């Protein structure tokens, strides 16, 4: 299983994110707005809870978030309030009932200890409270994954309050308390956490006599010719399925994907889905798509941008070096034949 581990910074819309992952209605005192997501129901939620690093004994995520968001460190409108994280869990942890529905209670017993071990070490024990939600795909009863929000300022138990993200050392140099805030260290820190959660999962899988198949290295690092998948919101996914259904009369998969890319304002996740789909299609053992590109390139008029084939050619080049070299060779020949005409890929 490929280990997905993603993060992004969230400002004062953090209450909305909290409401979404917890499938609840959350009121933001800072924004004076209620974010409503209780209508979604909790059919796809295994558990939600908080890891409170303060001494205030919060019982609700809403209270924890509101007190922090209204603190002195989050007064600015452009303040970075929380980090939004998500990572997937091995589907081997899923416990199913006889009717093949997921057994939430038994699944939670397996995954919560390893989730908490990871979050306690990297966040709570460092003073960073977390709001945690464990989800799964309601349709497939699998796709087990975790969302969590970590507060960006840590809590000092001695001062009984949140403290600034930086401090001055003895030489007057500004030091970040959290390496995630330091651009020089953040990439490495995230990589190490990605590795750690994968290691914890594999350790648990071994204990259960299951296959420890969680990979933390990227396809690129493992020299695997494959695209990684990106998380897509249900609304985005349903919209993309509508586009695909609407243009199903275009039998050629890559032509259909290119048409959709050029005629609709897609999100990054939707475009990535189509790129993966085209990539897998072109890897099939035939060269008809390469020949199609070459044929159309040869028919282009002067100063044509080849817009419809930029994405396809980019995908071709990622398949193998050999295909890329062959494609470049044919393009050069076509360019030489059409003197004075420019071909751009």
Nearest residue to 81 via CA among 25, 147, 28:
28
- Residues in the chain, total: 345
Q: What is the pLDDT of residue 77?
A: 83
Residue 82 has pLDDT above 80, yes or no: yes
Judge contact between 269 and 232, C-beta under 8 A: yes
Residue spans of the domains in the chain: they are: 5-207, 234-337
**Reported CATH class of domain 5-207:** alpha beta
First CA to last CA distance, the chain? 34
Virtual torsion, Cα 202, 22, 9, 30, nearest 10 deg: -160
Q: What is the pLDDT of residue 216?
A: 83
pLDDT per position as a tens digit, 272-308: 888 888 877 776 655 555 555 555 555 554 444 444 4
Dihedral sign from CA coordinates of 139, 144, 150, 156: positive
Q: What is the average pLDDT across 87-102?
A: 91
Q: What is the pLDDT of residue 299?
A: 55
Judge contact between 149 and 21, C-beta under 8 A: yes
Phi and psi, residue 123, nearest 5°: -130, -70
Which residue spans within the chain are E strands per DSSP? 5-10, 25-28, 33-36, 45-51, 82-88, 130-137, 142-151, 155-156, 161-162, 166-168, 174-176
Token pair listed for 88 = 């997937």
Residue 62 has pLDDT above 70, yes or no: yes
Q: What is the pLDDT of residue 295?
A: 54
Q: Cα separation of 111 and 122, whole Å? A: 17
């Amino acid at each position: 299983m490929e280990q997905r581990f993603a993060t992004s910074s969230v400002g004062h819309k953090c209450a909305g994110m909290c409401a979404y992952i917890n499938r609840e209605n959350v009121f933001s005192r800072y924004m004076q707005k209620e974010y409503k997501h209780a209508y979604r129901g909790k059919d796809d939620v295994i558990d939600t809870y908080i890891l409170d690093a303060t001494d205030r004994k919060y019982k609700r995520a809403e209270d924890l978030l509101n007190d922090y968001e209204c603190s002195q460190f989050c007064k600015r409108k452009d303040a970075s309030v929380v980090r939004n994280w998500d990572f997937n869990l091995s589907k081997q942890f899923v416990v199913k009932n006889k009717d093949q529905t997921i057994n939430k209670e038994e699944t939670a017993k397996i995954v919560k200890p390893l989730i908490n071990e990871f979050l306690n070490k990297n966040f709570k024990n460092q003073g960073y409270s977390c709001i945690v939600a464990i989800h799964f795909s309601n349709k497939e009863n699998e796709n087990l994954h975790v969302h969590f929000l970590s507060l960006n300022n840590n809590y000092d138990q001695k001062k009984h309050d949140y403290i600034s993200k930086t401090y001055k050392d003895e030489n007057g140099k500004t030091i970040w308390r959290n390496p995630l805030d330091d651009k020089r260290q953040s990439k490495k820190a995230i990589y190490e956490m990605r590795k750690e959660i994968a290691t914890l999962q594999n350790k648990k899988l071994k204990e259960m006599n299951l296959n420890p198949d969680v990979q933390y290295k990227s396809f690129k690092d493992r020299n695997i010719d494959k695209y990684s998948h990106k998380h897509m919101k249900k609304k985005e996914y349903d919209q993309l399925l509508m586009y695909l259904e609407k243009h199903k009369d275009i039998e050629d998969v890559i032509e259909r994907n290119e048409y959709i890319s050029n005629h609709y304002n897609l999100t990054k996740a939707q475009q990535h889905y189509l790129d993966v789909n085209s990539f897998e299609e072109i890897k099939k053992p035939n060269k008809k798509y390469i020949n199609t590109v070459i044929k159309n390139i040869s028919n282009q008029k002067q100063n044509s941008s080849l817009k419809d084939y930029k994405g396809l050619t980019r995908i071709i080049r990622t398949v193998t070096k050999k295909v890329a070299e062959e494609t470049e060779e044919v393009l050069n020949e076509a360019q030489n034949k059409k003197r004075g005409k420019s071909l751009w890929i």
